[in-house]
Amino acid sequence: MNPIEEKQRAEWRERTYRELVAELRQNEYIQKLVEGYHPMCLQNIIDDYAQKKLYWMEWGEQSKDWVRHVDEEWIEDAHARLEEIQQKKLFDLQCRWRAETITLPKIRVSDDFEKWSKNILNCPFLSPITPEEMAMYEQYIRSNNFEERTFKEDWQNYDEIKEAYQDENSYCEVPEWYDFHNSCTGASTFLLLPDIRGQKEGFYITLVRESDKRLIEQKSKTVSTPQAPAETRPFLKYHENNFLAWFVKTFDDAETQELFSKSWDNIYKNNNDDDDGEWEDWETMVTELNSAEKPFPMQPWHDWRDALRRTHLEFKKEMLLLAMPIAYEQYLTTIELGLGFAQPDEDPFEDNWYADMILEGRVLNKEPKNFKF
């Protein structure tokens, strides 16, 4: 798409979105729907539905084809798995850094590990992925511990991962890849190291919060502002129980209902919600298995859904194993050419509230305004 077409499409999106919001605001039946619920529900539903309808209008006809043409996604998935390798290396460094056994460039405070996790392939102090690390990850894919989905966002959540490691009854969890890596390398010992740096940061954060609390209390004593009564009405759970399908059928026209029937939302939602709340696309599983170059025997299980899910997982693992060397070769080529990897849409380091709070705490404690502590 050339720049002129892209500009026209962007203008169409903005204009259409405004029109959809205005139309939904004027719908008296939607107004009645949210009566008795929290006041924010109306705006939330309007914004959410307008975005979804805009998407259907733009891509509805192609959504079903995208679900069926997933071959090109295996290499993309493999690239995400390369990131997991680097996430584990970064987490081990975080454990050592917190214990003050090492120092790292580009790391001022513990929150910087979370920031680098969002741009992991460009992290300057991580060594490139080695063939040995690739071989270990491929062993992990073949194992029974392989975690199919890779959109976990808390790779560097030190507190939760350490809690999960130390307390088997914790609601937190250690990523399966981390567990597998630890079993192969013994790197779980890093989780036994003390969190010296974290305790120091916590001291400064507490100073700032206590100072802010005192300021608020002093202000409340000098300025008397009538408080609005607390809102007690519940929120409408518009993301649950097939609400979206009901909403489309109830409030929209036949054309929109047709677009919705072809949309990604409907394709997945119509294929049963499991007990754990995750959507399963049984039709796509069968289609992908039928398209495989070799037959995949159905895994024996007492429930056909579990049997199909397990069989499809074996298929995905084999496809991923085929894609991993290709992704790794592309990864090495990018490094050799010095091109750098894709940057996140937003620079994680633009938000420095955590580092700023620590500096403020240092000042409150009559210490130099730096990170040398």
Q: C-alpha angle 110/116/119, rounded to 5°?
A: 165
Is there a single domain that holds both residue 79 and residue 149? Answer: yes
- Return contacts of 279-286, CB within 8 angstroms, 24+ apart: 280/305, 280/309, 281/67, 282/308, 284/67, 284/68, 284/70, 285/309, 285/312
**Is residue 134 situated within a structural domain?**
yes
**Is residue 354 situated within a structural domain?**
yes
**Is residue 214 situated within a structural domain?**
no
Cα–Cα distance between 54 and 126 in angstroms, integer? 41
**How many domains does one find in the chain?**
2
The position carrying tokens 């939904």 is 24
Is there a single domain that holds both residue 57 and residue 93? Answer: no
**Is residue 355 situated within a structural domain?**
yes
pLDDT along the chain (373 residues), means of 10: 72 88 90 86 86 77 48 82 97 98 96 96 96 97 86 84 89 91 95 96 94 78 68 77 81 84 58 49 75 73 80 87 91 90 87 93 95 93
- pLDDT tens string 167-219: 888 888 899 999 999 999 999 999 999 999 999 999 999 999 998 888 777 76
pLDDT of residue 308: 83
**Is residue 221 situated within a structural domain?**
no
Is there a single domain that holds both residue 176 and residue 247? Answer: no
Q: Which two tokens stand for residue 353?
A: 């509230």
Is there a single domain that holds both residue 170 and residue 183? Answer: yes
**Is residue 280 situated within a structural domain?**
no
Is there a single domain that holds both residue 49 and residue 97? Answer: no
pLDDT of residue 73: 75
CA Rg value for the chain: 26
pLDDT of residue 94: 98
Question: Residue 344 gets which letter from DSSP?
Answer: P
pLDDT of residue 346: 85
**Is residue 41 situated within a structural domain?**
yes
Is there a single domain that holds both residue 88 and residue 63? Answer: no
Is there a single domain that holds both residue 47 and residue 77? Answer: no
- For residue 332, give the 3-state DSSP assignment: helix
**Is residue 311 situated within a structural domain?**
no
**CB within 8 Å of 134: residues ≥ 6 apart:** 85, 324, 325, 328
Is there a single domain that holds both residue 100 and residue 20? Answer: no
Is there a single domain that holds both residue 22 and residue 112? Answer: no
pLDDT of residue 177: 95
- Structural domain including 181 reads 73-198+328-364
pLDDT of residue 96: 98
The position carrying tokens 């937003």 is 346
pLDDT of residue 74: 85
Is there a single domain that holds both residue 193 and residue 334? Answer: yes
Is there a single domain that holds both residue 134 and residue 19? Answer: no
Is there a single domain that holds both residue 11 and residue 54? Answer: yes
pLDDT of residue 241: 61
